[in-house]
Structure formats: structure tokens, C-alpha cells
Amino acid sequence: MLRDPFYDPGKSYEENYGKGPFGAFRNPEKYQNKGEPEYDFLGNKVYLPFGIPAGPLLNGRFVKAALDSGFDIAVYKTVRTGAYPCNAFPNVVAVDLDGDLTLEQAKKGIISKGDYEAPLSITNSFGVPSTDPEIWQKDLEEAVKYAGAGQVVVGSFQGTKKGDGNVNAFVADFVLGARLVKETGAKILEVNFSCPNEGTAHLMCFDIGMVRRVSEAIKNEIGNTPLIIKIAYYEDQEALKKLISDVGSIIDGISAINTIGSAVRKKNGEQALPGEGRLVSGVCGQAIKWAGLEMTGRLRNLRDELGMKFAIVGVGGVSGAEDFKKYHEAGADAVMSATGAMWNPMLAQEIKKEL
């Protein structure tokens, strides 16, 4: 069942940031968990290892609403070491898909539509906007402190290229981002390797050498604080095995997947999201559940094969209790929902009641 979304796609990112959240997140009644938290998520006890990944929770108000609504793991939207603008409106558009978005179909491109209908799939294109650290550090610190027993707030961040090709400076920016997030008191950090870097189609998670270099540098900075890396869908199994072999003993968790990229056009052939470099955008929701589940299983198998211990965070197409169960059975230590949660802010409560 689709409800009024807590992020309003009919409003700009700035309007959502300044006036949101909306829908049931506007003034949520605080959900009361029963008993004691029994699940462990990277050293933190939670009532249920279920939450919202980086993306929909724009600021502390969104995070607090998620916690009050029963989501026990809330990831504060990815931040940067300096202010960064959002892509032009619109940023969220429904897509016309019947069933799974296969890799073959994604390469051919898909069509947008005007209505948001279940089973829901969307495309989003924000460009990983960020306020200045002087704004987000204070806001994130308050959100971290707001988490109650059995809950945890994760701080997500990424580096920013300066345009001069200086790789050392790029790595240093990731390290600075990690330091700034850790200063807020966040108990878990997540580094975003799964979004295009400043207007290009390149995803850093596929540059395994850089992933290792940056991950090592971050861990040297943050010490024992758990670090999750967020990655995209890997089509090449050998490349995925190489990634796990190189970084699986360095990091503490892997979150997969983010989205599947595809060209998105209107029925008349125009690109659905205006602006240079935005023909291809990330598709999420029901249509990519197969990919999230598959990646979860592949990560579990590689973890077992290589004798590693990192946590697996399964993401993609979760809209109900059965989806949560499938991810758990596939090997996920925690499960998260972005699109499903946006259009059903009561999702965590519904899952807890059904389990």
C-alpha cells in the first residue's frame, strides 16, 4: 500500500530539506518497542536490524522521524567536506516497468511515467548534495544523540574531486570527511562508493585499487569505529571476488545495492531528468529487488569462501515483511529500504508486527 511519501517528489530538494519530512513522518507517534534489543549490528544492539539507507533522510528531522517510526537503523544522507549543490528539479520520477529491470533492459533504456503506483519503481538523480560541515555536523550530532535504546544512526559521507586530477587530495578529502563525521559521535560510518562522481558515469566502487586505498586511509583515521562501504551491483563475479579479497578484511560492512543505472526518457523521447549528464540515472524500488537479493547471496558466499567477517547490509526493493525475510535468508545481517520506506513510513512497524 502506497501512502503519502515522507519525501515529496513534487517539491524541490531544497523545499524538502527545509520543510520536510511530510506524510506520516510529519508528526509521528513514537513507536514503543517491547522487551530488550537482541540483534547486534556492528557492535550496536538493535530491536530489529532494519532501517533506511543513505538518501531519503535529508537531515536530523528526517532521521528523528525515522527513529520515532520504528526504523532502528537510520543513515543520515551522504555528506561532503564542503557545500555541494543538488541537481536540477525534478529529482525523483516514477518509471514504467512491469517486473524486474534486467541488465539488458537497463542498457536499452526505460520510460518514465507520471503516476506513482504499486509495485513502485522510481529513478532518482540528486548529485549527492551537501551543506557545509558547520551545518551538518551539529545536525548529525543531535540526530545521533536522539537515538534511543536499540537504535543507531549511521553517518554517510564521500569525497569530492576538485577538478585538478590530484588523487592524493581526493583520498585526503575522504579521510577528512570520515574525521568530520566521527566528530559528531556517530557510532558507525558509511563511505559512499556507489554514486557517480561529479557528473560522470563512473562509479568508484568498480575501481578496486582506489576502493582499497581509500578504505585503508579511512580506517587509519577512524580506528575501531566500524566502516561500511556502499557499492553498486557487480555484473562480473571475478571482479566482485577481487574486491572482497582486497578490502574484506579492512572494512567492517558492505551495503549493496544502491541503484541500477539506465537511460530514462519520456514517451516523446526527451530525457526524463533535465540537464547535461542526467540521461542515465539510478533506478530503485521493486524492479531491482532481484539484484539486491542476488548480491546479498553472492557477498555471503564470498565471505564464507574467503573466511571473512564483514557484515552484509541488503538493500533494494524492500516493501514488506516477506522482502525482509528473503534478504535475511539470503545472508543479510541488516536490511534497509529507501523507496519502500519513502512511500510507506509505517513499513518498519508493519514488519515488526508480522515477524
A 10 A CB-CB count for 258 gives 26
Give the 3-state secondary structure of residue 253: strand
Cell 524538502 sits at which residue?
16
Alpha helices, DSSP H, located in 51-202:
60-68, 103-108, 133-146, 167-182
Write the CA distances from 130 to 60, 80, 82, 158, 311, integer angstroms.
Answer: 13, 6, 7, 10, 27
Cell 503519502 sits at which residue?
4
Q: What is the longest distance spanned by two Cα atoms in the chain?
A: 55
Euclidean distance between CA atoms 25 and 343, whole angstroms: 11
Alpha helices, DSSP H, located in the chain:
13-19, 60-68, 103-108, 133-146, 167-182, 208-222, 237-247, 289-306, 321-330, 339-342, 347-354
* Terminal Cα distance for the chain, rounded: 18
CB 282 within 8 A of CB 259: yes
Cell 532518482 sits at which residue?
124
Kind of pairing between the strands at 39-41 and 44-46: antiparallel
The yes-or-no answer on residue 195 being catalytic is yes
Euclidean distance between CA atoms 188 and 300, whole angstroms: 21
CB 160 within 8 A of CB 81: yes
Write the CA distances from 343 to 7, 78, 100, 280, 322, integer angstroms.
Answer: 8, 21, 19, 23, 17
- Comparing CA positions, the residue from 64, 262, 350 lying closest to residue 337 is 350
Among the listed residues 86, 195, 205, 284, the single catalytic one is: 195
Residue 153: its H or E element? strand 152-157
Residues assigned a catalytic role: 195
